[in-house]
A and B are shown apart, each in its own frame.
Chain A
């Protein structure tokens, strides 16, 4: 479904060229795949390269066999790629109803919009006509972002750290949202996360470190090593 061939993304810094993504090649066909790894490792950049928010310096990206490397964000979206931002974008005047309708590609009635909002645990009618702006909390914006991604119902949805910026109570709800999503969706999910409970849902876990794939395999192989490394790190920090 998704293939990256020798993808590199470099930026110019005062110290010269820096490779944020360094020659990554991956083939992804699983339904639920998680990217994890240290902050600054390149996970979000990789997701942005797949969505077309950034263009690779070199390499190719294929989606369902089509070369999408030079395609616009809009064309990738039309091909069936969706993206939930880590920091949801805020607007002035655009409402929840507008965003979900745009995502679904048609005018939706209140009942249809509510069904998406209920799935992310929002008391729907209160939110339909609210503006997607600063008056919503981080957790509310995040849920609306996920509802929007669900309304688009793409073949592949990229979720960039859905757990970032939300409180523990919301997090528990978020987990159940993803459990449901995994059961119900016909599409595939590619999720960036640091959370064990989210990683645990994935079939395959890919660890990105310093712009490269440092580990890649089924969850059962990768996750125990990651967790014990974390425990060791925590112990070391405590000592």
Chain B
């Protein structure tokens, strides 16, 4: 891998918490091109031949390994589209860390749209962490539109932790999932918007398998003049448990629309939806102020805890 610039290292730190890619398989994409790759005995990464993107193939039974697939955009005016397919073999147990950082110092729009497809094999377990981050002194917009499609086979488990904290001007996140028998999906999403940013997140989960289950949990903070929309549709098509929850804090002129939807297509489906939107509770501010924080410090503490 070529030496990373200071900006690239900082982007990596923001999206993945490190400046150097750790041990294990990885694929680094920088400004629309491959900037480094490592494969292991159990994890193969191949460049697609029909369209931009990669296939990540994890052998059945692979345990305690990780794959890092960070994407960095530092050129202004770049429009990057990739298709990444993940094949997680039967009985594997792995961590996948993705993320996209845009540093836009120019006046043109920079956009990265990642189309991710996960094929989670029978009894496989995967944790997928995805962080989105934007920065840069330029006036050009920073846009991220990720699409994630998930299929979980019998007894499979997937946990998605996605976050977009600051810096992304516009995002439309689309997540679709189909679950087989006894498959479980847990999604935890965190979004903080500011300025005039717009963020829409749209989940569609089909609980097709018997005893399948899904928890879709979103925590969001809309500050200044930003706007967020949360759409979540959980379809109970078999004996299953589904839960969708949107919890949002409004600050300044922030606005949030929430559309949590649960559809039970059989009497055996058990589905719950919750949505709570509002300002920070006055008593929470009072409590932290009695401990010596100013109102502004108390707000920051509450928001940081909420999005942790």
Which residues of A approach B to under 8 Å, CB–CB?
A: 51, 53, 72-74, 77-78, 82-83, 85, 89, 91-95, 98-99, 102-103, 105, 148, 152
Given contacts A74-B295, A98-B305, contact A92 B287 (CB under 8 A): no
Chain B facing A: main interface SS = helix
Q: List 14 A-B contacts (CB under 8 A).
A: A77-B291, A77-B292, A82-B291, A89-B283, A92-B219, A92-B247, A93-B219, A93-B305, A93-B306, A94-B302, A95-B305, A102-B291, A103-B292, A148-B291
Q: How far is the CA of A94 from the CA of B247 in the complex (A)?
A: 15
- B304 to A, closest residue via Cβ: A93
Q: Does B272 reach chain A (CB closer than 8 Å)?
A: no
**Is the CB–CB distance between A77 and B290 below 8 Å?**
yes
Number of chain B interface residues as a range? 20 to 34
Add 7 more A-B contacts to A92-B219, A98-B305 (CB < 8 A): A77-B290, A82-B291, A83-B290, A89-B286, A91-B305, A93-B306, A95-B305
**Is the CB–CB distance between B302 and A73 below 8 Å?**
no
**Is the CB–CB distance between A72 and B289 below 8 Å?**
yes
Which residues of B approach A to under 8 Å, CB–CB?
A: 219, 247, 281, 283-284, 286-295, 301-302, 304-308
**Is the CB–CB distance between A102 and B306 below 8 Å?**
no
Q: How far is the CA of A93 from the CA of B247 in the complex (A)?
A: 12
**Is the CB–CB distance between B286 and A53 below 8 Å?**
yes
Tell me the minimal C-beta distance from B292 to chain A in angstroms: 4
Tell me the minimal C-beta distance from A113 to chain B in angstroms: 14
**Is the CB–CB distance between A102 and B293 below 8 Å?**
yes
Q: How far is the CA of A53 from the CA of B290 in the complex (A)?
A: 9
Task: Choose from B283, B284, B301 the contact partner of A102 (Cβ within 8 Å).
Answer: B301
Q: How far is the CA of A91 from the CA of B308 in the complex (A)?
A: 12
**Is the CB–CB distance between A102 and B288 below 8 Å?**
yes
**Is the CB–CB distance between B294 and A74 below 8 Å?**
yes
Tell me the minimal C-beta distance from B216 to chain A in angstroms: 17
